[in-house]
Structure formats: C-alpha cells, structure tokens
Amino acid sequence: MKYYKFVYYLVLGSGAMRIGLALAVAAATAAVPATAANLITNGDFEAGNTGFTSGYAYSPGGNSTEGQYTVRSNPFPWNSAFVSRGDHTTGTGLMYVGNGAPTLGDIVWQSSTIAIAANTNYFFEAFAMNVCCSFVLPGNSDPNFTFRISLDGGAPTDLATLTIPANQAGTWFGLSTSFNSGTATTVQLSLINANNLRQGNDFAVDDITLSTRSVVNGVPEPSSWAMLLAGFGAVGGLMRRRRTVAAA
Ligand SMILES: [Ca+2]
Ligand SMILES: [Ca+2]
C-alpha cells in the first residue's frame, strides 16, 4: 500500500481499520532483524589466516616475491617498501596484505561456501588499501579486484571490477557490489586480481562482508519501516494534539 494511502486510512479510516493497520505495521516491524549480520567467517581477519583460501602463497615471515600474502597488523615491514598503516576494523587489528602478481585471474581471496536465503538482495563488499609504496615510484599502478560469485556451485559470475585509487597509498577505500540470490541457497565469494602489472599492484584487504545491509554505503535495510513508523508517530501525535485541543 502506498504511503499516502496508508496515512489517508490512518487519518480518515475507521477506528477498527486503524487498529488493524497498526497491528500489521507492528508485525512487519517485528520481522525485520535489528542488525544484518556479516555471513563471512573471519571477514575482518581478526582470527588470522583462517576461514578463507587464496591462490597466493601464505608467507608470514616476510615478502620475497609477487604472489605472496600474509595476515598481519601492518603492511610494513612485511615488505619494507609498503606503507605503515593500521587495519580497517579497529586500527590495531589484523588485515590481509598481498603482493599482487601480474597474472590476471589469480584468486586473491576466496570464501568457503556460505548459506544464503533465496530471492534476497545481498551486498558483497570489502575495504581495500593500496600499500605501495612508502615512497613514490614511477610506473605505479592501481590494484584492481574483480568481485566474483558462484551461486549453488554454478559457473562464476563477475559482479564488478573495482579499482583502489592510485597515488593514495595508505588510504582505506570501501568497495561495494550487490546481487540477488534468485533461487540459490549457497554462494561462494572471490576477490580476483584484475591488474596485469607488477609494480604498485600491492594491497591490503579488510572487513570483507556479505550482508543484506551495505556497510560501505551505510544503507540500513529497515530504513523504510523506520521512516514509516516515524511518519505514523508524527500523524498520531498530530491527531492527539488536535483531539486535545477540540476537547478543551
Ligand atoms: Ca581487521
Ligand atoms: Ca606487486
């Protein structure tokens, strides 16, 4: 029902209709979860090198070549050319740090298979940072990630290829994609290297999320209901004040 019609009935409809509508609104509101959970295990990397897989080689002791990654609290000095910065979650937690190789299609990060609801809109998002370099290098390039999903174990679908802006090493950027699950009840998520250069293709990733709410853009899913309720409250308040005035 359209909002203006709703208000029309609320103001001019019968008392029984108003009570019925109020109950309907209350029931619908109760069905909306207060917060939308992140369905990804260890998406904030606070548990360390667990809960995901990678086509890159885990190299916690240091970075000697392209195509290696680690999970740590600072890109520096895993590679002494990388910036010294804190993670995205708290500034003192852990993040994924990778030295991107010039090979298109490498799996930087991949989730396990995640149970989802059918016919639901999901946001697949991550915060990423260009970590190269602590000094300006000629020929620096942007790290690019393709956000890829596989629904119910089917063929991969690329949602978008997003770039972490150049020349802003050490700045976290929110990258946001979304999809509708359709008939699927599971999904596997991947971040794929989409930069065929070596130099400057170096990155940190943190707070990877799969949720019905956008963390990057701050879009709260129950907003429509909250706004409706606020509107009803205002109308109800107006009616009460009018009644009070009339009775006096
Ligand atoms: Ca973190
Ligand atoms: Ca690199």
What is the CATH topology of the domain spanning 52-211? Answer: Jelly Rolls (2.60.120)
Closest Cα partner for 113 from 56, 159, 154, 157?
154
Strands 202-211 and 95-99: antiparallel
What is the model's pLDDT at position 248? 32
In this structure, which ligand is nearest to the CA of 92? 1
What is the model's pLDDT at position 115? 98
Compute mean pLDDT per 10 residues along the chain, 248 residues long, and list them. Answer: 44 48 45 73 98 98 98 97 96 98 97 98 97 71 91 98 84 96 98 92 97 87 51 47 36
In this structure, which ligand is nearest to the CA of 79? 2
In order of 84, 125, 179, 191, the CA distances from 53 in angstroms are: 25, 17, 22, 11
Q: How far is the CA of 56 from the centre of ligand 2 (A)?
A: 12
What is the model's pLDDT at position 85? 96
What is the model's pLDDT at position 140? 67
Strands 172-180 and 107-111: unpaired
What is the model's pLDDT at position 238? 44
Q: How far is the CA of 165 from the centre of ligand 2 (A)?
A: 15
Measure the CA–CA gap between 227 and 9, rounded to whole angstroms.
17
What is the model's pLDDT at position 218? 87
Measure the CA–CA gap between 33 and 30, rounded to whole angstroms.
7
List CB-based neighbours of ion ligand 2 within 5 Å: 66, 99-100, 201-202
CB distance 102 to 175 below 8 Å? no
Kindly report the backbone phi and psi dihedral angles of residue 187, in degrees, each rounded to the nearest multiple of 5, phi listed first: -145, 145
Q: How far is the CA of 124 from the centre of ligand 2 (A)?
A: 25
What is the model's pLDDT at position 164? 86
In this structure, which ligand is nearest to the CA of 38? 1
What is the model's pLDDT at position 168? 78
Domain boundaries, the chain: 3-32+222-247, 52-211
Strands 68-72 and 57-58: parallel
